[in-house]
Amino acid sequence: MTIWTLRATIGQEKAIAKHINKKVEVKDIAVWSLLIPQALRGYIFIEAGTIDKVEDAISGIPHVRSKVVGTVDVSELENFLVPKPTIEGLHVNDIIEIISGPFKGSRAKINRIDVGREEVTVELLDSQIPIPIKLHSDFCKVIESAVEEEEVPAETAKKADEKAEEEEEEEDVFAEFFNA
């Protein structure tokens, strides 16, 4: 099993793959699979026995930028073959847009992340009363990331907020005492 790399015009990968697939079916060329990774634009990976079979499959197809570039080991393609969990890109305190469900279009802030269930607990920003809502991570689109900030668990962040509020109250008491 050999996987060959083919360069293509960016944005034309699917069209090329359809042409290759039709040609393989009509001419009965020994090509076993095609891979078009979304993260690696402009490349198509073709699984075939020999380079001659690949060249037969791609000859005359528009938008093929170069002939076969070389071979690739399967281990190099594993990260394209295994889907990444959608929860990976989410962090506590991220501002998200809900993209599906009854709250579609609403903006919310992530308070807690349950990696095992791929769920996030959010509070709607538009709401007067903070109501925690559990959503599947597929329903979230990050608008503002909190990555720049130090990642702090939601409970620790809540305690820090409470402590800051207490300190503000103490300052108010002293200000009232000195201003009186």
CA pair distance 17, 36, nearest whole angstrom: 8
Regarding the domain delimited by 85-151, which CATH topology (the fold level of the hierarchy) does it fall under? SH3 type barrels. (2.30.30)
What's the chain's length in residues? 180
pTM for this model (two decimals) = 0.52
On whether the CB atoms of residues 46 and 13 are closer than 8 A, the answer is no
Coil/strand/helix, residue 95:
strand
- Intra-chain end-to-end CA distance of the chain, in Å: 86
pLDDT in tens, 19-48: 999 999 999 888 999 988 888 888 899 998
Give the torsion through C-alpha atoms of 85, 91, 93, 98, to 10 deg.
-20
Domain boundaries, given as residue ranges, for the chain: 2-81, 85-151
Read off the tokens for 144: 């503002």
| Superfamily the domain 2-81 falls into | NusG, N-terminal domain (3.30.70.940)
pLDDT in tens, 86-118: 788 889 999 999 998 898 999 999 999 998 888
